Amino acid sequence: MSEAASMFNASRAGLIIREKQPANLEFPFASLGPVTPTNEFFVRTHFPVPAIRARDWTLTVDGEVERGLVLTYDDLLRMPATTAPVLLECAGNGRAQLVPKAKGLLWDTGAVGTAEWTGVPLSVVLEKAGVKKGAVDVIFQGADKGEVDDPKSPGVVHFERSLPLAKAMRPEVLLAYRMNGKDLTPDHGFPVRAIVGGWYGMASVKWLTHVTVTATPFEGFWQSLEYAYWKRDRERPTLTAVTEVQVKAQIARPALAEAVQAGKSYRVFGAAWSGESDVAGVEVSTDAGKTWSEAPLLGDSVPFAWRLWEFPWDVPKTTGRYKVMARATDTKGHTQPEKHDSDRRTYMINFAFTVEVEVM
């Protein structure tokens, strides 16, 4: 077996393959726990993984800054770092639930995970470089690149996304070099990636090599065409970058079509999250959304991570098909919609899903 093939087997155990090349792998959400182990964490890549050696890696900080910087891996490791659990959810998570069937990778519920990330706050690096007055955006560029067929890219493009300066300066934006206590793996962005707490995964650029501060808003391929949705100003729809994670609860147990024992108690279990706010509550329905009951939240609320919850279901004695649903509300008062809004295209899919089980 080639080295690449054996590496594939070792690091992909337990993941659902949505695409082999480039690797797009889904976490089996039924395996939910407080922290997702690295080898079970979903992988979302658009291009082949670039092979970068830590000793060859540099991060260039340029654009609207007083002092351009070129940092080595050792330079970064010497800077003050923080460690925190942060959730990443792909903006296309749940796409398999859309009707009619959507184009693109058909993620079910496992393009999401919470890992513990260690890194230097981007603000520390930007302060070192000195952001000039009038700067508005901070662009992250990854080392990976290629051509995209649909929609057609302007030739070869790097994977690039931007943050408005105000978000870039927030403490939940890290230049991360460790995941769950170990160096990043090649799939997850070795040696250094961005981690943008509260935003969908596309903002957390992997294999990060360039940070460019700009005086005008960035409108690149992955910013304005892909990972963009139709935002309406009154009736006028405008393609706008996907940013903040929408409130959502997902059910880990029961699994689809699971056999549930009649007349017994069953522990419904799942996770809930919301990008830049906290989960206020989760409700569960076992009758296809006709009635809802409060589900206890477990543990403490941790900003930018998910919150586990459970619901003790007194399973009826009447056998047959039951539709189990969960929905979350956040502290800003947002709750999940009943249907997907087509203005969101195939992103930000947070309507309440149904898990049909067999009570027997």
Binding site for Mo ion (CB under 5 A): 44, 90, 201-202
The site partner of 46 among ligand MTE, Mo ion, none (C-beta below 5 to 8 Å per kind) is ligand MTE
Site string for ligand MTE, 173-212 (x = CB under 6 A): ---------------x------------xx-xxxx-----
- Tell me the number of residues near ligand MTE by CB under 6 A: 18
Instruction: Pick one of 41, 218, 221, 347: the residue that binds ligand MTE (CB under 6 A).
Output: 41
Does 242 participate in binding ligand MTE (rule CB under 6 A)? no
Q: In the complex with ligand MTE, which residue's Cβ is closer, 188 or 340? A: 188
Site string for ligand MTE, 282-321 (x = CB under 6 A): ----------------------------------------
Min CB(37)–ligand MTE separation in Å: 13
Does 327 participate in binding ligand MTE (rule CB under 6 A)? no
The site partner of 307 among ligand MTE, Mo ion, none (C-beta below 5 to 8 Å per kind) is none
Min CB(159)–ligand MTE separation in Å: 3
Residue number closest to Mo ion, CB atom:
90
Tell me if 138 sits within 8 A of 162, measured CB to CB. Answer: yes
3-state secondary structure the chain: CCHHHHHHHHHHCCCEEEECCCCEEECCHHHCCCCCCHHHCCEECCCCCCCCCHHHCEEEEEECECCCEEEEHHHHHCCCCEEEEEEEECCCCCHHHCCCCCCCCCCCCCCEEEEEEEEEEHHHHHHHHCECCCCCEEEEEEEEEECCCCCCCCCCEEEEEEEEHHHHCCCCEEEEEEECCEECCHHHCCCCEEEECCECHHHCCCCEEEEEEECCCCCCHHHHHCCEEEEEECCEEEEEECCECCCEEEEEECCCCCEECCCCEEEEEEEEECCCCCEEEEEEECCCCCCCEEECECCCCCCCCCEEEEEEEECCCCCEEEEEEEEEEECCCCECCCCCCHHHCCCCCCCCCEEEEEEC
Q: In the complex with ligand MTE, which residue's Cβ is closer, 108 or 283? A: 108
Min CB(240)–ligand MTE separation in Å: 17
Instruction: Pick one of 26, 40, 144, 278: the residue that binds ligand MTE (CB under 6 A).
Output: 144
The site partner of 57 among ligand MTE, Mo ion, none (C-beta below 5 to 8 Å per kind) is none
Q: In the complex with ligand MTE, which residue's Cβ is closer, 115 or 249? A: 115
Min CB(321)–ligand MTE separation in Å: 33
Min CB(96)–ligand MTE separation in Å: 15
Instruction: Pick one of 142, 186, 198, 270: the residue that binds ligand MTE (CB under 6 A).
Output: 142
Q: Is 319 exposed, middle or buried (0-12, 13-18, 19+ CB in 10 A)?
A: middle
Site string for ligand MTE, 67-96 (x = CB under 6 A): ---------------------x-x------
Min CB(227)–Mo ion separation in Å: 7
Q: In the complex with Mo ion, which residue's Cβ is closer, 76 or 202? A: 202
Q: Is 243 exposed, middle or buried (0-12, 13-18, 19+ CB in 10 A)?
A: buried
Instruction: Pick one of 11, 38, 42, 119: the residue that binds ligand MTE (CB under 6 A).
Output: 42
Residue type, 167: K
Q: How far is it, in rounded angstroms, from Cα 107 to Cα 102? A: 10
Parallel, antiparallel, or unpaired for β 354-359 and 259-260? parallel
Q: Interface with ligand MTE by CB under 6 A: which residues?
A: 41-46, 88, 90, 142, 144, 159, 188, 201-202, 204-207
